[in-house]
Amino acid sequence: MASGFFALLDDIAALMDDVAVMSKIATKKTAGILGDDLAVNAEKASGFMSDREIPVLWAITKGSFLNKLIILPFAFLLSAFLPAAITVILVLGGIYLAYEGAEKILEYLGVLKHHEKKNLDVDMTNEEILALEKDRVKAAIVTDFILSVEIVIIALGTVTEKEISIQIMVVTIIAILATVGVYGIVALIVRMDEFGLKLINLNEQEDSFSDKVGHVLVNALPWVIKILAIVGTIALLLVAGGIFVHNIHWLHDHFNSVPSMVKEFVVGLVFGAITVLFVELFKKIVKKKK
């Protein structure tokens, strides 16, 4: 009886060890997408009145959790009954990520027209502000859904050869960490300027240490968001390129002399630019028909 109990504990310990190791590997694989997720949501949740930033972010976070609840069961079913579909979804998601990354770079270079972004205005009514919040939350949740699919599929791809129990635990852990980690950091970022103002107002002494730190935090917020956007764009192309290189045999077998990071970035950028070209041509055809 006792030996059976200890054998069970040993099995559980071995299972947890496998889960911990595979979770670490899956986290590394999905880190690039998490960087873009972080940049996107920091931008979406910032730019509002101070008392509205957290409600907006909380609405996006709830939407992200709901996305994971929808995606996870379908992912596990596909892994169990149609594993070939995982690779197909992975490559399709890679095309989307490459498109997003290439589009941002082409917009920055002036090749494509920048998307008009509606920002908060002092003349807006409460109804208009709430409508803007709703639009941003909806856009963030849609983007989160697509990124969540990629996060789940990439995480699942690292454990496809493991038992279904390990797959479920590892991918669920990654999904939870992705949501809690990303939106926890975003909350800290969007409240950075507010914390800075509190430090500035901490005492009446001018040019104090708290004042200096506060001014740094207030002035740093726009730069932090810009840097995150750049890092997120590079991460998108690297993740997309990595998906193509590892799942398209011709790409995997060629250019072995090229450093993997350079190869993945270039492949992601090329695939993304081609996708942007097709999308723009499709838009023009549809516009002409209308």
Residue 243, amino acid: I
Phi/psi at 52 (5° precision): -105, -10
pLDDT at 76 (0 to 100): 83
Q: How far apart are CA 283 and CA 222, in angstroms?
A: 33
Give the C-alpha distances (Å, rounded to integers) separating 226 from 38, 216, 222, 229: 12, 16, 6, 5
Answer yes or no: are the C-beta atoms of 280 and 109 closer than 8 Å: no
pLDDT at 124 (0 to 100): 66
pLDDT at 274 (0 to 100): 92
Answer yes or no: are the C-beta atoms of 240 and 275 closer than 8 Å: no
| Closest by CA position to 201, among listed 193, 188, 210 | 210
* Complete DSSP assignment for 28-69: HHHHHHHHHHHHHHHHHHSSS-HHHHHHHHHHHHHHHHHHHH
Answer yes or no: are the C-beta atoms of 251 and 267 closer than 8 Å: yes
Q: Phi-psi category of 207—alpha, beta or left, where left has phi over 0 and alpha has psi -120 to 50?
A: left
183 Cβ neighbours under 8 A, 6+ residues apart? 41, 57, 60, 61, 64
pLDDT at 192 (0 to 100): 79
pLDDT at 17 (0 to 100): 46
pLDDT at 6 (0 to 100): 34
| Closest by CA position to 231, among listed 189, 177, 289, 274 | 189
| Closest by CA position to 167, among listed 151, 155, 185 | 155
Q: Return the half-sphere exposure (C-beta side, CA atoms, 13 A cut-off) of residue 120.
A: 17
Which runs of E-coded beta strand occur in the chain? Answer: none
Residue 81, amino acid: F
- Tens place of pLDDT per residue across the chain (290 aa): 444 433 433 333 444 444 454 445 545 555 556 666 666 666 666 666 666 777 878 888 888 889 888 888 888 888 778 878 878 888 888 888 888 888 888 888 877 776 655 555 556 667 777 777 788 788 778 877 877 887 887 777 777 667 777 777 778 887 888 788 777 877 777 777 778 878 777 777 777 777 777 788 878 877 887 887 787 788 778 878 888 887 777 776 676 777 878 888 888 899 999 999 998 888 888 888 76
pLDDT at 287 (0 to 100): 80
Task: Tell me the pTM.
Answer: 0.72
Give the C-alpha distances (Å, rounded to integers) separating 153 from 225, 243, 273: 27, 11, 24
Residue 33 burial (C-beta neighbours within 10 Å; 0-12, 13-18, 19+): buried
